[in-house]
Structures are given as structure tokens and as C-alpha cells.
A = this chain, B = another copy of it.
Amino acid sequence: MQTKIFLDENEMPKKWYNIQADLLTPLDPPLNPSTGEPIRPEDLSAIFPMELIKQEVTQKKWVPIPEEVLDVYKLWRPTPLYRAYRLEKALKTPAKIYYNWEGVSPPGSHKPNTAVAQAYYNMKEGIERISTETGAGQWGSALAFATSIFGLKCTVYMVRASYEQKPYRRIMMETWGAECFPSPTDRTEAGKMIRKKFPNTTGSLGIAISEAVEDAAKYENTNYSLGSVLNHVLLHQTIQGLECKKQFEIIDEYPDVIYGCVGGGSNFSGVFLPFMGDKLRGEHPDLQVVSCEPTACPTLTKGLYTYDFGDTAMLTPLLKMHTLGHDFIPPPIHAGGLRYHGDAPILCKLTKEGYMDAVAYHQNEVFKAAITFARTEGFLIAPETAHCVKATIDEALRCKETGEEKTILFANSGHGHFDLAAYDAYHEGKLVDYEYPAELIEKSLKALKNKT
């Protein structure tokens, strides 16, 4: 039996897929918060390279992947498509379960698919340094890896609470040569202001974004980089789904349903968008696509579809998305990558228009699924990914009841080697199942309606 479907390096897709070309109606544009008008390219050129600004709005269906980016991808791509025989057997399901495995990349997740592309375009346009923010460190370490490959400097503002409690991703970034500071810092006006006002603050992603953006705007040869949400990030991530499509062609299969976890939405979008194109064009009208999110941060299942800021400090353009309000601070679940108040506009539009669904889970049921996966398929996956493994197992068990031989694909975004403390908490029965924070959401959304 064949467990992995591999592509040769020369079969790797040479172009990214742009769903904008297949959308039936165009995306709502990002708005300039001071004018309320659609943002212009020149508004972004202080912090992004022109090539990425163009990719953000292009309507071309295919964007060529530069040869130098393909060469770096080859350090871990094409990634294998797995058939999860052992999981199927343990569940006694007639369903066929597949997953693409992004844990083989040097930083251990899907993040470098865009980090490498972004570092490359910045290098090509003469940029010498990139600044960014990171929470627990997945994105910061991916950008540190990518910049080290292209000889750029990298400055990472890491949320102070994570910087102090979770040093391993910080050490990874430093090993790749990046500098990493606990945010808020005294290096920026935004940071200084917050420290003056709240001397004991442990920081937040919103503050870290403000610091990274200010850093990039202030220095001539420095740009800013974002690891999810934006259209060009999703574009780069489509390398995942394009590989999966080729791999399914080899075995003459096509998924009936695709599951993925959604924080900002870049991993899942990267996997499902190339298949969604088939659905939009009417080629696979019955394809189901389901986002999996935590009950503690239920953006797609409980959020409002409206314009909101990408950050807490209201510095970014307004994006049309499902949001819990930029003030919303979710409970401290272990899936740190899913604790974001909004989602990628492309994914939100497709959800709003009914092309895809969403479902939310509690921590304990999610970790239970991760343990089942580890004891059958071997790999210790990230808590984020475990959300869609939970959905996969539920669907496979439903198929067992009905006898359906469904083909299931889920997006396996990365390993959980730096999340073992969370596994330990689960083993010891110490994981808290946070209820939907209904009152917090209501308050935050009310504030949002008053502001926008």
C-alpha cells in the first residue's frame, strides 16, 4: 500500500493560483481609515515592496513563482500527500483520509511558503531589513529563516508574554540571525507610549504590529511583512493546494470535503483555494470546504461580516471580514495561531456567500483528536492543526454510520514540538474548555459599530 504521494522537484507548480480571477464578484477593497476611500498602492509603498502591492490586487489567474523562490522551496517542497491508513483503520471508517504535511519545512510549518517569497521580493527591490511581529513565534521564525537565506536583516517584535515564557522560537530566530525584542520595547514611539501608560504590560499582537509597522515606516531601507490575512500571503500559500491537486490526479482521486484550521486563514486558504476555483467554475459543485476554529475565538461562526481594522491600535487599513472586533482579546487557549479577531477577506467572502462552512471546537476535544492522530499516524501536530483533525475524525465516524466512502482532505500545517506543554496540560486534565465569550464579543462588536 502507498502511504505517501510525492511529486518530483521538477513537477512542483511553477505558478501560484489567484482566486480573484475566478471570483464571481470582486473583493471589497481595503479602505484608508482616515479617508474611508479605497487604499491606493502609494499608501502602502512605505512598508511593502511594489511587487507584493501588485500581487495584492492583481486579477491575473496565475502568478509565476521566481526561480530563486522555487530553489528555496526545494529545501522541503514538494511536500508529501499522506493517506492516513492507520487512522482510518483505528476509526473503522470506509472514508479515505488524506493530508498534506507541511511540518517538514525548516521552521516546521506552512509559514515559509510566503516568508520566502516576501523576503525575495524585498531583496530584489533593494530592501536591507524586514521588521515584523510575532505571537508565539511561528511567523517570526519563518521570516527569520527566509531572510537568512536571502541575506537580509530581520527584526522581530515578539509579544513580551511569549518572549519570556516560550524562549524556544526566539532561540530559533536568533540561530537564523534575526534580532528579536520583547514588545512593547523602547525602540518605537508606540512601544514607549504603551510602556509609560502600562509599565507592567506583557504586550499583545496588536501592540507588536504597531511597533513593527512604525519601525518599517521610519527607516529608508526597511520594510514590513505580514504572515497571514492579506491576498498576496494567500496567493503564495496556494503552492500547497496546487501540489495536492497534482498528487490527487496521480491517484485519480478528488476530495469530497476539505478541512483546515483558521486563525488568519492563510494555511487553509493555501490548501483549498485551488479546489475552490474548480467549484466556482462549476467543475466540482458538490465540494465541501469547512473552516475549523476554536470556540474561544469564533470569528467565522459568531463574528460580524463588516469592515474592521487588522490590528488593535487601528493603524492598518480597514478590511472587509468576519470579525469579533479589533478590541476582542480571546481567552488564552493553547492554539496561539488561532487567536486573531478577524480572518482573511478572501476566505470571509467565500464563507459569507455560502461556498464554504465553519465549525468551532473546544480545546479538550481537539487535543483528544491530536492524541488519536499521534498514536495512529505518528506525528505530533500543532494544536492549531488539531482542530481540523477533530473535524476529520467526526466526519470519518459519521461515514462509518452511513457507509459513505467519502474522500477527506485536511490541511496538516505543522508539528507541535514547541507545544508539548499544552499536550502535558491535556494529559493532566488541566486544559480549560472556554465557553463562547458571548458578552465579550457583544461588547467588542458594539464598540466596533460605534467606531466605523
Query: What is the interface of chain A, defined by CB distance below 8 A to chain B?
Result: 1-4, 6, 8-10, 71, 74-76, 86, 104-106, 108, 145, 148-149, 167-168, 171-172, 174-177, 371, 374-375, 377-380, 417-418, 420-421, 423-424, 427
Contacts and interface: CB of A to CB of B under 8 A. Distances in A.
A348 B102 CA distance: 40
Contacts of A380: 106, 172, 175
Contacts of A427: 171, 174-175
Given A71-B1, A104-B104, A424-B171, A177 B375 contact: yes
A6 B108 CA distance: 20
B9 A2 contact: yes
Contacts of A104: 104
Nearest to A83: B74
A169 to B, nearest CB: 9
A87 to B, nearest CB: 11
B149 A374 contact: no
A103 to B, nearest CB: 9
B175 A4 contact: no
B3 A420 contact: no
A342 to B, nearest CB: 31
A338 B128 CA distance: 40
A3 B77 CA distance: 10
A86 B151 CA distance: 12
A392 to B, nearest CB: 17
A175 B368 CA distance: 10
